[in-house]
Homo-oligomer: A and B are copies of this chain.
């Protein structure tokens, strides 16, 4: 009905109420400028900070936001909206402004990561997908950063495509984890699309398909002369390690030296020690040990603390689904309309009014505290939100993904020590300014007065 439909590029991938509201705004002639801000309400107990990610996909989405003729024809056929609204949707383009924290920036609860300022129907319609894009990459980058901090100097690879929630999640998890400091991914399109190094070895099925491990290893060596990494846990890990030792001289003589072995089951630390001893005993000290299977940042930290001889890790499910906390309490909220600040007061979900900015202070090169204030204020410190789009177009090239990765590395290095640890840290100070507090009170007062007026 919609032709070749790619949900990742479709403006129709939205909640129905966005279209209903746009319809009402059009009828009411409400097209004044609105500002919406995206933020996360709370830090989960198992996170000490967030990492900004996903801005590049948001900008691409906004620059290309339009309905296809197939989508418009379907919308018209539903009878939900009058022809004037269908025409309005046909002409839909995002013409607004975006200010945002660059990807790789560390941030905290209640801090706006991104602000959209555009005619109300435009800023409203893009809500669902904009949250969908930012939420996921922030979720994964914030999780990946914990693993990067837990295992300094280790090779960290994203192996999580298969259990990621769908195609886009698999691909963008590779992006977000590399941004946060991972070494690479197994997900192939991450290389041509994002320039991320890709890695891969073999599966158990490869070993099983041959009559013996020996034959499987020999065959793999014939086709992978450069980076021969052998999976050794299909039947008996230590026996396979001894087989590697036995085969190594001949493989090296043929120009295919064994570079590494991979463990994927059982007690990884115990197997790694046993395998290291077997390899070292045969003089194969340069053969690296990789491990995968059920890893998370806590196990990485324990391995590092205990000196487990594993050189690199393939992390799957816990990374790409952020298993311990698979969703953040984030929102995209109206903060100003037609020049007037707005505020929601719903219980437990009250928001700060007005277009805002975050200023960060440093002491001895470490982050020392943020101020949350109104965008028009002047405050000391480094403003974190920068102009990104004007008139519906990016104002210049975005930082490359490699630059975002470098920024993230600098930010992680600048975190206070307590926040770099996996354990819950005392809250990082984020202080609302006096002007912001005063505005929130004024908004509440005005709303109460208006509620008491009778028409």
On A, residues with C-beta under 8 Å from B are 1-2, 4-10, 12-21, 23-25, 27-28, 30, 34, 36, 74, 78, 120, 124, 127-129, 131-133, 135-136, 139, 159, 161-172, 186-189, 191-193, 198-206, 208-209, 211-214, 219-220, 222-224, 233-236, 239, 264-267, 317, 321-323, 326-328, 330, 333-334, 337, 342-349, 447, 450-451, 453, 455
Contact B219 A24, beta carbon cutoff 8 Å:
yes
Given A208-B334, A209-B30, A346-B233, CB of A20 within 8 Å of CB of B169: no
Q: A451 touches which one: B6, B235, B348 (CB < 8 A)?
A: B235
Cβ-closest chain B residue relative to A20: B200
Contact A169 B162, beta carbon cutoff 8 Å:
no
Chain B residues with Cβ under 8 A from A17's Cβ? 186, 200-203
Given A212-B451, A219-B28, CB of A16 within 8 Å of CB of B198: yes
Contact A265 B348, beta carbon cutoff 8 Å:
yes
> How far apart are the CA atoms of A226 and B337 in the complex, in Å?
28
Chain B residues with Cβ under 8 A from A4's Cβ? 6
Chain B residues with Cβ under 8 A from A189's Cβ? 2, 5, 7, 10, 12-13
> How far apart are the CA atoms of A188 and B78 in the complex, in Å?
11
Contact A20 B188, beta carbon cutoff 8 Å:
no
Given A1-B193, A265-B349, CB of A167 within 8 Å of CB of B165: no
Contact A16 B265, beta carbon cutoff 8 Å:
no
> How far apart are the CA atoms of A199 and B168 in the complex, in Å?
25
> How far apart are the CA atoms of A85 and B347 in the complex, in Å?
61
Contact B337 A208, beta carbon cutoff 8 Å:
yes
Chain B residues with Cβ under 8 A from A16's Cβ? 186-188, 198-200
Given A209-B120, A345-B236, CB of A169 within 8 Å of CB of B166: yes
* Copies of the chain in the assembly: 2
Given A189-B7, A209-B334, CB of A132 within 8 Å of CB of B170: yes
Give the shortest distance, in Å, between A136 (CB) and chain B (any CB): 5
> How far apart are the CA atoms of A139 and B169 in the complex, in Å?
15
Contact A8 B132, beta carbon cutoff 8 Å:
no
> How far apart are the CA atoms of A127 and B447 in the complex, in Å?
57
> How far apart are the CA atoms of A73 and B235 in the complex, in Å?
38
Given A13-B161, A334-B205, CB of A5 within 8 Å of CB of B193: yes
> How far apart are the CA atoms of A5 and B9 in the complex, in Å?
10
Chain B residues with Cβ under 8 A from A198's Cβ? 16
Contact B327 A235, beta carbon cutoff 8 Å:
no
Chain B residues with Cβ under 8 A from A235's Cβ? 344-346, 447, 451
8 contacts between A and B (CB under 8 A): A7-B189, A20-B224, A27-B219, A34-B209, A128-B161, A132-B162, A163-B327, A205-B333
Contact B342 A208, beta carbon cutoff 8 Å:
yes
> How far apart are the CA atoms of A455 and B186 in the complex, in Å?
33
Chain B residues with Cβ under 8 A from A239's Cβ? 451
Q: A164 touches which one: B165, B317, B347 (CB < 8 A)?
A: B165
Known: A132-B163, A165-B169, A317-B327. 16 other contacts (CB 8 A): A5-B189, A13-B171, A14-B161, A14-B188, A15-B159, A24-B202, A24-B223, A34-B209, A124-B203, A166-B169, A166-B172, A209-B342, A213-B451, A234-B345, A265-B346, A326-B326
Contact B224 A7, beta carbon cutoff 8 Å:
no
4 A-B pairs closest in CB distance: A16-B200, A166-B168, A17-B200, A165-B165
Contact A167 B168, beta carbon cutoff 8 Å:
yes
Give the shortest distance, in Å, between A45 (CB) and chain B (any CB): 14
Cβ-closest chain B residue relative to A171: B7
Give the shortest distance, in Å, between A123 (CB) and chain B (any CB): 9
Chain B residues with Cβ under 8 A from A265's Cβ? 346-349
Q: A6 touches which one: B6, B13, B267, B342 (CB < 8 A)?
A: B6
Q: A8 touches which one: B7, B202, B455 (CB < 8 A)?
A: B7
Cβ-closest chain B residue relative to A205: B334
> How far apart are the CA atoms of A451 and B232 in the complex, in Å?
13
Give the shortest distance, in Å, between A47 (CB) and chain B (any CB): 15
Chain B residues with Cβ under 8 A from A201's Cβ? 17, 20
Given A169-B169, A223-B27, A265-B348, CB of A205 within 8 Å of CB of B14: no
